[in-house]
Chains A and B, each alone.
Chain A
Amino acid sequence: MKLSYTVLEGEYARAGEASSAVKKVLKQLGVPAPVIRKIAIAMYEAEINMVIHANGGVVDVDILPDKVFIQLTDTGPGIPDIEMAKREGFSTASDEARDLGFGAGMGIPNMIRNSDFFNIKSEVGKGTTVEIAVNL
């Protein structure tokens, strides 16, 4: 099953709606709650990043018999040093992002911790693509 969502630029209040929709679908499909939670946490952190660090983007979700694959693509500013960005505590988040309860540099570590496959590709000035897979 393939699902696609548009995450809107600057919509701080709505960030997380796509993750919430995916969670609902997985629940309907009878996926066990702890597995859904891993997917929800990883996707929610990535979705929030698209809003607080980029200008929104597109989320494509592919639900396969043995895994869920999620690709989040934005055309934001990109990440100059990915190894640095992966470190717990590293953050360039704005005050606005911190007011949301995010921006402690734990998003990417949370994505890695909750996924069975994780990849982040980024080019400065072009954008960022995050790939997350969780085994069912």
Chain B
Amino acid sequence: MTIQQVSEILNAEVLTTADKLDTVVDSACGADLMSDVLAFSAGHALLLTGLINLQAIRTAEMMDMRAVVFVRGKKPTQDIIDLANDRDVILMTTKHNLYAACGLLYINGLH
């Protein structure tokens, strides 16, 4: 699934520079605890989280993830968007909550 398709399924708004949306992601993880992500998500390319701060972007960076989806319609501040742009992490925000967002991607084939 491409990141473009992820954004369409989640009806998400892309917040970073809108290039590389054709990047393919083949697995995802949903978590608010960054230590959980650091422990269990090696190899996943997409992080869905309700944690809206710089550490969410840094965690994605450490894990070589391609994109982060902020859930529940939360909008990050500009410094968070800037860091994501700088680290080549695509950032988007969806109105769905974490449970629903993960479920929508799952039933559409992202496991």
A interface residues (Cβ-Cβ under 8 A, vs B):
13-16, 19-20, 23, 33-34, 37, 40-41, 44-45, 48, 99-102, 104, 106-107, 109-110, 113
Partner of B62, one of A14, A34, A40: A40
For window 59-97 of B, CB contacts with A under 8 Å fall at 59, 61-64, 79, 87
A104→B62 contact, CB < 8 A: no
Main SS at interface, chain B: helix
Is the Cβ of A44 less than 8 Å from the Cβ of B62?
Answer: yes
Nearest CB in chain A: distance from B36 CB, A: 7
User: Which A residues are CB-close (under 8 A) to B56?
Assistant: 101
Instruction: Tell me how far the C-beta of A119 lies from the nearest C-beta in chain B, rounded to whole angstroms.
Output: 20
- Other contacts beyond A20-B62, A37-B42: 11, CB < 8 A: A13-B54, A19-B58, A34-B42, A41-B63, A44-B58, A45-B38, A48-B55, A100-B53, A102-B34, A102-B55, A104-B33
What is the count of residue pairs linking A and B with beta-carbon distances less than 8 angstroms? 66
Residue of B nearest to A15 (CB): B55
Q: In the complex, are the beta carbons of A37 and B64 less than 8 A apart?
A: yes
- Tell me whether A33 and B58 are in contact in the complex, defined as CB-CB below 8 angstroms, given that A44-B38, A104-B36, A107-B35 are known contacts: no
Taking each of B38, B39, B59, which has the highest tally of chain A beta carbons within 10 Å of its own beta carbon? B38
